[in-house]
Structures are given as structure tokens and as C-alpha cells.
């Protein structure tokens, strides 16, 4: 089988697939149109986020048997078209669930205990204790939306901090020793911390909007390590200003480029987030550890070999 690799990943992928007699070609620079012009020559494609695999692309890929996305999100693939064409879809959320979970906990601890703020103050000769009094995770009710790989890994960590973890998911009967499944209405009634672990779909686009925020009974902390457009930023900013949102931990932003490589636009709402001491922003790195790079690659390799060897 001939496989085209469109993004740089861990060399595990190339090494192990070559050992199984796959024919590999790397192309990390060609444009969308250039790749469309040759995609009919390949049986498989391994991607991250650089090039969208839309209907036009997939219809030109007349011999494509699988698409392997090194990561969790599949929104850059036209899934209905791929399924109609009989193309197998492979992803690897198992590979970075632990790094995402640790990132969630790390951001919350930093935000709620004002660690960056206090550290910078001391380094600049400012010694404030009362002003930097923290807020404990212990005893907080944490509401997760989405209970797949990322949600479950996050619940496991937070349960160890003595949190009451609840979650809402479109699938049923997912409760386990770390978290209890509830309706979305009950989650909005009880949650003091809200963490998103959902894909980007029509139904989850701007899920957290003005209505959602107003329906939350408690003032709450928001964590988003999912997709930037799951949250409507202008209403998040309004809620931060009013105090309804006590603080936000954002690894993803509405204004990211589709490839996640950098911000696509800037505006007053984004600037507010960047300037606020009640907001932590990181550059889409929650799933981006040294360990997850290896695990993501290994999961993809294992799934390809299981299906095509």
C-alpha cells in the first residue's frame, strides 16, 4: 500500500510502517491543490491539520482506503463523504488523553492559586499574601461535557483532588468510579468548574454561548482544551467582566487558524483575554507533550497495521 504523509509526526510512524512493507512518501510543503493533483496515487493518507480533506479532495482520492488523523479531532475531514466512499477513518485520542488531563489540572491549579501572578509579583519586589489567597479544588463540583478519552482521563485526575466530578455526554450509561453521568440541566445546576471535552460539530459550535452561561446556576471557572469555536468568545468576555465566569483556562481560541498553527485574527475580545489576570491562555498544547507525541504515533501505527496487514 502506498501512503502519503502530509504532516510531520514522530519517526515511529515511518520506521514501523516501512518495516511492514508499506510504501511511504512524505510531503510537508505542497499546497492543497498540488496534493489534490496526486492523491489518486495513494491508498492511505496520514494527516494532522495542515490540509482539509473536503469533498473535492476525497472525490479525487479514487484509490484511498484510509485516512489516519494523528490526534483526536476529525473536523478537517468531510466525514459523511468519506464514509459514503468507503474510506476508513482512524484517529488516536488514546495517545494524548493523559497530557490533556494533566494540562487541565495544571491550568486550574495555576489560575485558582494565582501562581503566575504571585510569582511575578515576588520577582518584582512585591510581597502580597492576602491579595493572593487561593481557591481550593477540594470539594468543588466539576462538570465535564464529553466523556470520551479526554473526559475520562480528566475525571480520574480531578477525583484524586477530592472533586465531585459529574459529566454530560450524548451516549448513555457511561458513569464509572471517577464520575457520574447527569443531564445537561443538572450539570448547569451543580457545576462550579466547567471543562469541555467535545469535538467540533454543528451541534457543539458555540455550545457555550450567552444562553448557556446564563443557565449556569453558580459562578464558575471555565476550561477549554477542546476546540476554540466551542465557546463564543464575546459572551465569555461579558461573563468574565460580570464575574459570572470567575476565571478561564483556554488552550484553544475561537480565533485560531484551522491548522492550529497561529491566530487567524485579533480583536478587542481576544485582547481582553490576553490582558486579564483571570485568564490563562496556552497555544493549543494540551495534548502536546513529549510522551504524547510518541503515543499518538504508536496508536496510529497499531491501528493501521491491525486493519491492513
- Residue range 258-296, pLDDT digits in tens: 777 788 888 999 999 999 999 999 999 999 999 999 999
Q: What is the pLDDT of residues 71-112, one digit of tens each?
A: 998 999 999 999 999 999 999 999 999 999 999 999 999 999
Q: What is the pLDDT of residues 151-186, one digit of tens each?
A: 999 999 999 999 999 999 999 999 999 999 999 999
Q: Which three cell numbers stand for residue 293?
A: 507525541
Question: Is 59 assigned a catalytic role?
Answer: no
Question: Is 168 assigned a catalytic role?
Answer: no
Residue 302 has pLDDT above 80, yes or no: yes
Q: What is the pLDDT of residues 199-235, one digit of tens each?
A: 999 999 999 999 999 999 999 999 999 999 999 999 9
Q: State the pLDDT confidence band at 18, using cuts at 50, 70 and 90.
A: very high
Question: Is 227 assigned a catalytic role?
Answer: yes
- The mean of the pLDDT values for the chain is 96
- What's the predicted TM-score (pTM) here? 0.93
Q: State the pLDDT confidence band at 257, using cuts at 50, 70 and 90.
A: confident
Q: Looking at residue 93, what is its pLDDT?
A: 93
Q: Which of 50, 168, 227, 254 is catalytic?
A: 227
Segment 41-70 shows an average pLDDT of 96
Amino acid at each position: 500500500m502506498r501512503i502519503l504523509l502530509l504532516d510531520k509526526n514522530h519517526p515511529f510512524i515511518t520506521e514501523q510502517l516501512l518495516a511492514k512493507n508499506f510504501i511511504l512518501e512524505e510531503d510537508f510543503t505542497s499546497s492543497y491543490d498540488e496534493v489534490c493533483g496526486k492523491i489518486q496515487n495513494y491508498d492511505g493518507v496520514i494527516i494532522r491539520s495542515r490540509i482539509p480533506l473536503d469533498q473535492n479532495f476525497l472525490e479525487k482520492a479514487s484509490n484511498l482506503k484510509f485516512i489516519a488523523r494523528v490526534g483526536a479531532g476529525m473536523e478537517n475531514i468531510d466525514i459523511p463523504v468519506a464514509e459514503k466512499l468507503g474510506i476508513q477513518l482512524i484517529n488516536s485520542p488514546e495517545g494524548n488523553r493523559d497530557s490533556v488531563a494533566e494540562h487541565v489540572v495544571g491550568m486550574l491549579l495555576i489560575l485558582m492559586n494565582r501562581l503566575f501572578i504571585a510569582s511575578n509579583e515576588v520577582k518584582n519586589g512585591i510581597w502580597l499574601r492576602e491579595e493572593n489567597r487561593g481557591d481550593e479544588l477540594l470539594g468543588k463540583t466539576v462538570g465535564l461535557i464529553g466523556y470520551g478519552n479526554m473526559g475520562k482521563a480528566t475525571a480520574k485526575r480531578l477525583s484524586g483532588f477530592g472533586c465531585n466530578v459529574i459529566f454530560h455526554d450524548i451516549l448513555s450509561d457511561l458513569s464509572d468510579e471517577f464520575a457520574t453521568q447527569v443531564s445537561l440541566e443538572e450539570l448547569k445546576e451543580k457545576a462550579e468548574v466547567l471543562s469541555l471535552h467535545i469535538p467540533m460539530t454543528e451541534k457543539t459550535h458555540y455550545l457555550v454561548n450567552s444562553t448557556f452561561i446564563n443557565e449556569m446556576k453558580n459562578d464558575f471557572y471555565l476550561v477549554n482544551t477542546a476546540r476554540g469555536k466551542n465557546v463564543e468568545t464575546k459572551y465569555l468576555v461579558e461573563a468574565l467582566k460580570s464575574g459570572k465566569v470567575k476565571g478561564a483556562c483556554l488552550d484553544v481560541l475561537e480565533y485560531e487558524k484551522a491548522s492550529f498553527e497561529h491566530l487567524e485574527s485579533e480583536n478587542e475580545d481576544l485582547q481582553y483575554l490576553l490582558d486579564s489576570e483571570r485568564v490563562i491562555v496556552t497555544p493549543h498544547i494540551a495534548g502536546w507533550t513529549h510522551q504524547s507525541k510518541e503515543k499518538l504515533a504508536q496508536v496510529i501505527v497499531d491501528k493501521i497495521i491491525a486493519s491492513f496487514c
